[in-house]
């Protein structure tokens, strides 16, 4: 397929309730990577959306006295407004109740049926409504689902089955020959071990309720919500509706998912694609849980915190930065208000924000806010050369970390340059140069280097703090928007045009008083 499109996805989120921090965590991570790839000059297609079928949604609607359609139409805007508040730059948003999804899903399962990959059988088992999945007794804790804390229901009905068991060998070969297919490594090893223990065929239809996409050849069955949901990644890309778009966009470069839904993405999804000879996604990355008080955030347990509760205090930029920097991506992490305030004040208010304030204020005070001429090579001393070298290394390390999806490490790399900028201010002491007779040109060189450092920091932080980065870009006198740049051209040192107007302003990141 085309190498021009970088296609990444979040899971589509189940709309039995409103979003919490755990959902936003996945979406911010995907947005961080999407924005970085755009700045690299890549053509990006970033998809998110909502998963709207299934028994859990039907019961949530019934509890509110609404039809499933009324419920989903009412609650989906609660999700999109959170993504807007967090400056999520998705290129598409798919709802599984849209015709562009439902019709291709029916086509997909029809092709499976025509190839003999689906058969009718009967099933009896323990079904967790929270997971929308069957459970074996060994997966339960005290008879309850460990994720949702509820006892599964005994379900017995005729279902259509997908011959998942036939794909165990191909899946094992995939995991063993392509270590980036499932990341991080502990998750891949977990999946590999389970698949080596054997696979059962997968029930892909339900007859006990009707809120779903009908099986085309037997409409009293609706397609199992997970089989329906997984296909959003291809239906949104144009499968069975826009062949040119599908060739351009698919396969996905990254599916971002939580570790609780890894099995569906790392086992069921590639097997379904293999059955129709469709290309496989490059990487499925399963991150850990966000926890409050040592427990996974959960809508069903009422431990979910709304992103809106934090954005008002920390801003969207502060929110985005904290979760990508504080939690090692791929592992579980704990959230606390105190921890968020401490990280925000230390990294954003003190380190980054203070550097921006000092440099722009000194430029206005000592140079009337006019960017001075670029330094010649002979005007650069060891401090300037080291500052530039640190910036180059920081961006190289940032790029390498994002390639490896080590998102926290990418931000650590950026902050090595932030800290070097602050150290440089102390080393060269512009306030002292301003008082020295004959030191005017040295002052100009120092402030040009500092203003250029801020311009480069705006570029480097644009994927994670998009609002502050664009504001900083403007304050140092750079033209246009930072988000319209391409790293290959814009990251060359000396890009800030002499004569441009610098302006000071309020703190980019006002301190949080705790």
Residue percentage of the chain with pLDDT more than 90: 82
Q: Give 231-269 pLDDT, tens digit per residue.
A: 999 999 999 999 999 999 999 999 999 999 999 999 999
Number of neighbouring beta carbons within 10 Å of residue 197: 8
Q: What is the mean pLDDT of residues 86-92?
A: 98
Q: What is the mean pLDDT of residues 149-174?
A: 90
Give the per-residue SS3 of 338-401: HHHHHHHHHHHHHHHHHHHHHHHHHHHHHHCCECCCCCCHHHCCHHHHHHHHHHHHHHHHHHHH
Can you read off the two tokens belonging to residue 216? 């085309």
Does the structure show a pLDDT above 80 at 475?
A: yes
Beta bridge partner(s), residue 120: 160
- Neighbouring residues of 208: CB distance < 8 A, sequence distance ≥ 6: 55, 155, 157
Closest Cα to residue 458, out of 435, 484, 497, 430?
A: 484
pLDDT for the residue numbered 302: 42
Q: Give 340-388 pLDDT, tens digit per residue.
A: 999 999 999 999 999 999 999 999 999 999 999 999 999 999 999 999 9
Whole-number Å distance between alpha carbons of 309 and 325 = 19
CB 477 within 8 A of CB 501: yes
Does the structure show a pLDDT above 60 at 300?
A: no
Q: What is the mean pLDDT of residues 270-277?
A: 98
Q: Give the pTM.
A: 0.92
pLDDT for the residue numbered 3: 59
Residue percentage of the chain with pLDDT more than 70: 96
CA dihedral 402, 324, 343, 308 (to 10 degrees): 150
pLDDT for the residue numbered 514: 73
CB 87 within 8 A of CB 49: no
Choose the weakest-confidence range: 169-183, 292-306, 469-483: 292-306
146 or 352, which is more confident?
352
- Neighbouring residues of 101: CB distance < 8 A, sequence distance ≥ 6: 94, 95, 231, 232, 235, 236
Q: Give 480-499 pLDDT, tens digit per residue.
A: 999 999 999 999 999 999 99
CB 180 within 8 A of CB 283: yes
Does the structure show a pLDDT above 60 at 1?
A: no
β-pair type (218-223, 214-215): antiparallel
Mean pLDDT of the chain: 93
pLDDT for the residue numbered 2: 41
**Nearest-5° Cα angle at 95, 16 to 97:** 85
Give the per-residue SS3 of 225-268: HHHHHHCHHHHCCCCCCCHHHHHHHCCCCEEEEEHHHHHHHHHH
Please state, in angstroms and as integers, the Cα–Cα distance from residue 304 to each residue in 26, 152, 313, 314, 322, following that order: 14, 22, 18, 18, 18
pLDDT for the residue numbered 297: 56
Active site residues: 20, 23, 128, 131, 145, 148, 296, 299
- For the sheet containing 153-162, what is the strand order? 133-135, 118-128, 153-162, 202-203
- Categorize the per-residue pLDDT at 55 as very low, low, confident or very high, splitting at 50, 70 and 90: confident
- Categorize the per-residue pLDDT at 18 as very low, low, confident or very high, splitting at 50, 70 and 90: confident
Q: Give 92-136 pLDDT, tens digit per residue.
A: 999 999 999 999 999 999 999 999 999 999 877 777 766 666 667
């Amino acid at each position: 397929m085309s190498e021009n499109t970088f296609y990444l996805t979040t899971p589509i989120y189940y709309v039995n309730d409103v979003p919490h921090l755990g959902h936003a965590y996945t979406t911010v991570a995907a947005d961080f990577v999407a924005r970085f790839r755009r700045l690299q000059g890549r053509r990006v297609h970033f998809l998110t959306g909502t998963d709207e079928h299934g028994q859990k949604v039907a019961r949530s609607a019934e509890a509110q006295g609404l039809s499933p359609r009324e419920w989903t139409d009412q609650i989906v805007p609660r999700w999109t407004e959170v993504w807007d508040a967090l400056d999520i730059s998705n290129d598409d948003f798919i709802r599984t109740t849209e015709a562009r999804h439902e019709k291709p899903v029916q086509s997909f399962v029809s092709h499976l049926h025509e190839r003999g990959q689906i058969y009718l059988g009967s099933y009896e088992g323990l079904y967790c409504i929270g997971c929308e999945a069957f459970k074996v007794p060994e997966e339960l804790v005290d008879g309850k689902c460990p994720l949702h804390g509820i006892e599964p229901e005994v379900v017995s009905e005729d279902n259509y089955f997908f011959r998942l068991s036939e794909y165990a060998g191909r899946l094992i070969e995939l995991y063993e020959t392509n270590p980036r297919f499932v990341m991080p490594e502990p998750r891949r090893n977990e999946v590999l071990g389970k698949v080596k223990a054997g696979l059962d065929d997968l029930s892909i239809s339900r007859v006990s309720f009707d809120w779903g996409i009908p099986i085309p050849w037997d409409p009293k069955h609706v397609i199992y919500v997970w089989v329906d949901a997984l296909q959003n990644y291809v239906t949104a890309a144009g499968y069975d509706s826009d062949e040119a778009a599908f060739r351009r966009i698919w396969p996905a470069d990254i599916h971002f998912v939580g570790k609780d839904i890894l099995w569906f993405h790392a086992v069921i999804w590639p097997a379904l694609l293999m059955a129709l000879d469709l290309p496989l996604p490059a990487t499925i990355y399963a991150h850990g849980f966000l926890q409050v008080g040592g427990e996974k955030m959960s809508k069903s347990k009422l431990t979910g915190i709304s992103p809106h509760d934090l954005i008002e205090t920390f801003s969207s930029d502060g929110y985005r930065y904290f979760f990508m920097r504080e939690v090692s991506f791929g592992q579980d992490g704990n959230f606390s208000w105190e921890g968020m305030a401490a990280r925000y004040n230390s990294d954003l208010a003190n380190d980054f924000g203070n550097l921006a304030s000092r440099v722009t204020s000194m430029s206005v005070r000592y140079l009337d806010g006019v960017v001075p001429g670029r330094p010649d090579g002979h005007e650069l001393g060891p401090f300037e050369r080291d500052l530039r070298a640190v910036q180059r290394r920081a961006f190289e390390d940032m790029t390498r970390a994002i390639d490896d999806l080590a998102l926290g490490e990418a931000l650590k790399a950026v902050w090595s340059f932030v800290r070097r900028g602050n150290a440089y201010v102390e080393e060269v002491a512009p306030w002292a140069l301003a008082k020295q007779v004959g030191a005017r040109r040295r002052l100009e060189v120092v402030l040009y280097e500092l203003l250029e450092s801020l311009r480069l920091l705006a570029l480097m932080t644009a994927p994670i703090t998009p609002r502050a980065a664009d504001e900083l870009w403007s304050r140092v006198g750079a033209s246009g928007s930072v988000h319209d740049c391409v790293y290959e051209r814009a990251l060359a040192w000396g890009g800030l045009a002499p004569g441009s107007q610098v302006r000071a302003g309020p703190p980019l990141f006002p301190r949080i008083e705790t």
